[in-house]
Structure 1
Amino acid sequence: MISTVVAPDQVIQQLNWRYATKKFDPNKKIPAEIWKTLEQSLVLAPSSFGLQPWKFFVVNNPELRQQLVEHSWGQTQVVDASHLVVLAIKKDIIAADVDHYIERMAEVRQVPVDSLQGFSNVVKNFLNNPPVGLNEWSARQVYIALGQLMTSAAILEIDTCPMEGFNPAKYDELLGLNEQGYSAVVVCPLGYRAADDKYAVMPKVRFPTEEVVQYI
């Protein structure tokens, strides 16, 4: 029998347990040690080239969160959840961003910066000739991080609600993201479902496996 860190059936069980939580219990907060794990799931998220063209803004200020409700189509998850994460792209990344990443790589792996020049050139050439707009490409990377956050949360039985129903421009303005060169892409409240959230017990609707998975 193959040994795994987490039992395969437990992974499926937790993914079935997860749903887009519509109503959070505002009185239940994520313990600090669990939040640190979720925070690291964002830090450890993969991205193309490992470039990490993002920043994750955790909004703790209750007044700010209240102001965000009207720019979130009235969705109160942004105030009721224990934590609110705004996943943002670094806008219009340039060669200097690649240099910053290469310097970090050299530091972590304890190699000379010059030894990474070939890889640096590959990334910079990509930035000069991307298959899509650079900000769109960065947004795609952000969704990878969102998926990792949500899966990690599900394993820890922390509820999440990924949200695109918000006004990014207003979020950028209220949170001061523009001044830092970032722009909100997607929002993810995290916490604990309310006992009376009717969506918690609704069966998950998915197409049959054979309809969405094809072996070639």
Structure 2
Amino acid sequence: MPIASTDLLDSLMWRYAIKLFDHERKIPTTTWEALEQALVLTPSSYGLQPWTFLVIDDPALRTELRPFSWNQAQITEASHLVVFLARRRIEDRDLDRLIIATAAARGLDPEQLAGYRELMHKDLVAGPRSARIDLWSSNQTYIALGNFMTAAALLGVDTCPIEGFSPPDYDRLLALDGTPYRSCVVCAAGYRSTNDKYSSLAKVRYPLEELIEHR
């Protein structure tokens, strides 16, 4: 069901990158489950979903990650922490996985999707874009990040996207070396502290007329 445009804009105006979370306030289970579903429902090119989302529940692990995150307090103080993982490469088996899932969901014979599979293969596996597939998968994963943050704002949950971290160290601590996935971006989620002095500052955005052009 659609929401009022004013509700959407109010939520986006309210949202900002939290610097200081209330570490005692946790996201309710039902709210978090909805946010996990929002991640699952994120759109992706070809529908390939070249990602995995690690929710770091273990406080000790979050403490280990913090020094490799420029010692940012959000890593340990937020209610939840998500590490967005991107595929290192796209292989034929990834295409087969999507074809099988699509056929099952839509009552099709996988052979009916052979042309679609070939299109993906020529683009992402054998085509020129395969040489920079890491960039492609990162771009896709950032779509998931944006979707997550918007969904969180609509539910009244605060977030802070974090690029200030060491991917190699995250990969080591999360045992990702040798797997199909790598650390791409991090997002903390929870509720802002009343002591966060940045929460009351005005948003700084360039005027719509300078950012949007109609032709």
User: Could you give the per-residue CA deviations for residues 113-147 of structure 1, whole angstroms, max 9, x where no partner exists?
Assistant: 11110100001111121446001100000000000
Structure 1, unpaired ranges of 5+: none
C-alpha RMSD of the superposition: 1.0
Deviation at 1:37, TM superposition (A): 0.6
185-194 vs 130-139, which moves further: 130-139
Distance 1:44 1:151 in 2: 13
Q: Does 1:139 align with 2:112?
A: no
The aligned counterpart of 2:98 is 101
Q: How does 1:21-170 map onto structure 2 within 5 Å? A: 21-127=18-124, 128-131=126-129, 133-170=132-169
Distance 2:127 2:193 in 1: 47
Distance 2:44 2:128 in 1: 15
User: Could you give the per-residue CA deviations for residues 179-205 of structure 1, whole angstroms, max 9, x where no partner exists?
Assistant: 432101100000000011011100000
Q: 1:19 aligns with which of 9, 16, 21?
A: 16
The aligned counterpart of 1:180 is 179
Structure 2, unpaired ranges of 5+: none
Q: 1:176 to 1:46 in 2, by over 3 A?
A: same
Distance 2:26 2:99 in 1: 38
Distance 1:169 1:47 in 2: 25
Count of residues paired in the alignment = 213
Deviation at 1:5, TM superposition (A): 2.4
Over the matched positions of the two proteins, sequence identity in percent amounts to 45
User: 1:178 aligns to what SS in structure 2?
Assistant: coil
User: 2:186 aligns to what SS in structure 1?
Assistant: strand
The aligned counterpart of 1:214 is 213
Deviation at 1:208, TM superposition (A): 0.5
TM-score, scaled relative to structure 1: 0.96
Distance 1:177 1:104 in 2: 25
User: Could you give the per-residue CA deviations for residues 99-125 of structure 1, whole angstroms, max 9, x where no partner exists?
Assistant: 111111111111111111010000111
User: Could you give the per-residue CA deviations for residues 1-44 of structure 1, whole angstroms, max 9, x where no partner exists?
Assistant: xxx72110111010000000000011000001000110001000
What amino acid is aligned across from residue 136 of structure 1 in structure 2? L
